[in-house]
Amino acid sequence: MPSFLPPAARKRVLAALGERYGGRGSGLDYRNPFELLVAVILSAQSTDKMVNVVTRPLFDALPGPAEIGALTPEALVPWIAKIGLTNTKAKHIVATCRLLLEHHGGEVPCDYEALVALPGVGRKTANVVLSNAFAVPAIPVDTHVYRVSNRLGLADHGTVDGTEQQLMKNLPRELWSEAHHWLIWHGREICKAPSPKCDACFLTEACHYYNRRGKWASAEAVAGEHPVGKAKAKGRA
């Protein structure tokens, strides 16, 4: 049986996360849904900080799908060369821009099925766009959300998709999008992989990871016995 925090403890954890990280949104810089879509495609296996460095000049010179879609992938590569998986991402972004022009009037669709039909767009990317650009309740599960939610006991699953489904059941729908950001920021600042800063954490009283392994558990032992930090979405992001 899954091991979850009881409802009262979940409520306390969410309240504490909201108090600490409330008001913080995406770490990606964007001005519209199109810029967010491209930025999220670029963010796979890269940091938000590096993506922002790349997208600022990119969008100033090539502000929309018409401008980027007119390029070949090879011509786009120099613009995103600082980002990993450059060739693949260039192909996906150019193809996505062309499909936006052909099928969506150059606009990013506010529809999950239409989004995941775009090259380079998987479940997580679609949910990020829907949540951040269109205010559709969603819980995009990246490595931070996966790691932190399973460590805390908000979820108890060995896959990204399973974790998302559990979070959708265990968290109030009206908090899905906000809680997604809270978990990311907590993962970046405190609940790191492989060495969480448990001594600095304000959630240890409720945290499954802390109370199961103990304050002095080694990162190596935990990594060998628990899927946290290991999950990687297969295929598209």
- For residue 166, give the amino acid letter: Q
Number of CB atoms found within 10 A of residue 21's CB: 19
Structure tokens at 119: 């090259």
Q: Is 124 a catalytic residue?
A: yes
Cis-peptide into 65, omega within 30 deg: no
Give CA–CA dist 113/123, Å, rounded.
9
Give CA–CA dist 78/90, Å, rounded.
9
Give 5's contacts (C-beta < 8 A, 6+ positions apart).
13, 152, 153, 154, 206, 208
- In 104-237, which residue ranges form alpha helices assigned H by DSSP? 112-116, 123-134, 143-152, 160-170, 176-189, 208-213, 219-225
Structure tokens at 37: 């879509």
Q: Is 161 a catalytic residue?
A: no
Catalytic residue among 29, 49, 60, 124: 124
For the CA atoms of 187, 171, 139, 211, the dihedral, rounded to the nearest 10 degrees, stands at 30
Give CA–CA dist 44/13, Å, rounded.
28
Catalytic residue among 111, 142, 161, 232: 142
State the catalytic residues: 124, 142
